[in-house]
Structure 1
Amino acid sequence: MAYMVKRNFLLHLWAIFGILMIMWLTISVEALPIPFPPKPKKVKCNLIQYIGCYLVWQFCPVQCPSACLMDCATCKPVCSCNYPGAVCQDPRFVGGDGITFYFHGKKNQDFCLVSDGNLHINGHFIGKRNPKMKRDFTWVQSIGILFKNHQFLVGAKRTSKWEENVDHLELSFDGKSIFLPHNGGAKWQSTKGQNVMVTRTSNTNGVTIEVAGNFKVTAVVVPISAEESRIHGYDITDEDCFAHLELSFKFYRLTDKVDGVLGQTYRSNYVSKVKMGVTMPVMGGHHKYVCSHLFASDCAVSQFHGHRMMLGIGSNDSAAEYPVLKCSSGIHGNGVVCKK
């Protein structure tokens, strides 16, 4: 009898202990901080002609929390990487024909994205080599834009730790740095006759550059997040978050001779060369698009002749007036201004 009483007592004791343990674990789990996803970026309409939407702020859609544009006509934010003229991610292009393709290029090289008579755009690729693959993981760190006798630089500064409220943009026009106040809607305009307008799309890391009657580009600096690195196997470390540009181009007067990785897709007779129906349609032939530096127009498919106006001669050296510099930010080439 005594044995049964002792046994029942121990069973009840273990039951009480088990209930207390469950309660303690429940309280401990509830006390842990919940990892919320980063807050989506906000964008607004800066076009005063859209009275009902002018200066209205909206959050980016969940599909593109860090890269969207405000469509002032509908007053809704749209994912900028899904429209023709987009260059995003590991470079993923949306051509003028609406077809999506990838162009990987090679890290630490410059490639011609668009080349026409009076417009030439190069991209500087950064990246990492994956030992399990035969190619580099690459991203567009900066672009060099040539038009008439001018040069415009848009770049992402190299950074180890990403901070959203710190501006990682590098901007210069004809070799001179551009300063913009850190508030959305802030503007910079070139001197009369050059028709260059730069507008911040957010307090930091987002701008549009427009040359009246020629082109408009929206650029956003973004990092490679830990989640992206894990999913795609980028193996990004704390030494470099590989800040890069996500771009959206709009062209106003390209000719049917336009070429370049993206430019050729705007020709009326262009037929896509990428293999359709696959997960990642890739455009090859990078040797045709490689150029010697960010402001060079010497790629094999170059159509640009604006440099003749710049130099006053028929030379192909589009940047002979500008010394070659290499900046600690990782941006380098002719006509680049470095800061101490």
Structure 2
Amino acid sequence: MASKLFIAALFMVALLSASDVFAKEQKKPEEPKKPKEVKCHGKLYKYTCTGKYTCPDQCAHTCMMDCNMCKPVCNCNKPGGVCEDPRFIGGDGIMFYFHGKKDQNFCLVSDSDLHINAHFIGKRGEGMGRDFTWVQSIGVLFNGNHQLFLGANKVSSWDDSVEQLAIALDGKTIQLPNQEGATLSLSPFNLTIVRSDTANAVTVEVENKFMITARVVPITPEESRIHNYGITSESGDCFAHLELGFKFYSLSPHVTGVLGQTYAAEYRSPIKLGVAMPVVGGEANYVTSNLFATDCKVARFGSPNNNNDIKDFSIVDLNCAGRPGGRGMVCRR
């Protein structure tokens, strides 16, 4: 009897040992990573911060280029960005302004098979010789003569939950469910539209061509006060406009346009580094007669290309020292 109990005890010990080994072999569930924190002292976009912080909503969900101090924890200063009074981050990673003029259209990108214009809205600053301007809408010509429209509605007062982003393809209005992640795929156009928030934000991608992130934002009273725009709640117009991010998968070395030229093979930025507000002019070269016109002086849409000249920016990942890089970005010194 004793021997049977001894054998049973040995068997139980063996089972427990085996279960311990099995448990050790099982991977422990990974704990969620804590957001990266950095110390912050000074004024950031629309607010002042001190102490440790993670990427603030103002940087994560509005202008992705206006938060240099946030760069350790935020997705900032990405090439292809357009926002504010229009501020651009070129394909070379250098920031510049192009003010244009209110109520006019300007060519942002022009290549043999892609053309993007922007309609500017704005108001004259008190005592200033130029307009404050913002990009209200863009018109994209692609895959022949297909026309994609993205635009901000004119509104007097702002409500984040109310959709103010208008989308149309070849003149037909496109609507998405007011649900983050809602997706519409249009196979004949190789076009996919994804809602990146419950309202006012989408990502649009044409396979092997481009990806555009667009968000409608207003001029807030606080922003107006800081920049002296003169826009108040009594103005009757909060100047809703687009904040944009562009990624290009295939451009020729001869691409032009306010933004497009910065991706061209021979482009060298005229901007002097360290200038507080570097401005690129030449409005007369980029102005177009309407949102889908290709009649600017630098237009290349529809021109023949040597296929050997096409640069595919989607093949490799590149990084600029000191600047965030990414797929589809060109980095130069």
If the length of structure 2 is used for normalisation, what is the TM-score? 0.70
1:64 alignment partner, SS class: helix
2:274 corresponds to which of 268, 272, 277? 277
Q: Identify the residue that residue 114 of structure 2 maps to in structure 1.
A: 119
1:304 corresponds to which of 301, 308, 311? 301
Indicate conservation of the 8 Å contact 2:119/2:136, yes or no.
yes
Stretches of structure 2 lacking an aligned partner (at least 5 in a row): 1-29, 37-53, 65-71, 305-333
Deviations 1:251-289 (A, max 9, x none): 000001100000000012211123432110000111100
Indicate conservation of the 8 Å contact 2:176/2:182, yes or no.
yes
Residue identity opposite 1:97 in structure 2: D
Detail structure 1 runs of 4+ shifted over 3 Å in the superposition.
57-60, 76-80
Counterparts of residues 13-162 of structure 1 (less than 5 Å): 61-62=56-57, 64-67=59-62, 78-79=74-75, 82-147=77-142, 148-162=144-158
How far, CA to CA, are the matches of 1:306 and 1:187 in structure 2? 33
Indicate conservation of the 8 Å contact 2:80/2:90, yes or no.
yes
Give the direction of change, closer, same or farther, for the CA distance of 1:260–1:63 in structure 2 (3 Å limit). Answer: same
Q: Identify the residue that residue 246 of structure 2 maps to in structure 1.
A: 249
Matched, 1:178 2:174: yes
Q: Identify the residue that residue 196 of structure 1 maps to in structure 2.
A: 191
How far, CA to CA, are the matches of 1:79 and 1:225 in structure 2? 22
Residue identity opposite 1:278 in structure 2: V
Give the direction of change, closer, same or farther, for the CA distance of 1:206–1:62 in structure 2 (3 Å limit). Answer: closer
How many pairs does the alignment contain? 244
Report the alpha carbon displacement of residue 237 of structure 1 after superposing the two structures with TM: 2.8
1:181 alignment partner, SS class: coil
Indicate conservation of the 8 Å contact 1:119/1:306, yes or no.
no
Matched, 1:215 2:217: no
How far, CA to CA, are the matches of 1:77 and 1:262 in structure 2? 26
RMSD over aligned Cα, in angstroms? Answer: 2.3
Deviations 1:178-234 (A, max 9, x none): 0100010001121x3310000000000100000000000000000011111001100
How far, CA to CA, are the matches of 1:77 and 1:229 in structure 2? 27
Indicate conservation of the 8 Å contact 1:68/1:78, yes or no.
no
1:232 corresponds to which of 224, 227, 231? 227
How far, CA to CA, are the matches of 2:99 and 2:133 in structure 1? 6
How far, CA to CA, are the matches of 1:77 and 1:105 in structure 2? 32
How far, CA to CA, are the matches of 1:108 and 1:273 in structure 2? 27
If the length of structure 1 is used for normalisation, what is the TM-score? 0.68
Residue identity opposite 1:104 in structure 2: H
Stretches of structure 1 lacking an aligned partner (at least 5 in a row): 1-51, 70-75, 308-340
Indicate conservation of the 8 Å contact 1:112/1:260, yes or no.
yes
Indicate conservation of the 8 Å contact 2:63/2:84, yes or no.
no
Report the alpha carbon displacement of residue 149 of structure 1 after superposing the two structures with TM: 2.1
Q: Identify the residue that residue 165 of structure 2 maps to in structure 1.
A: 169
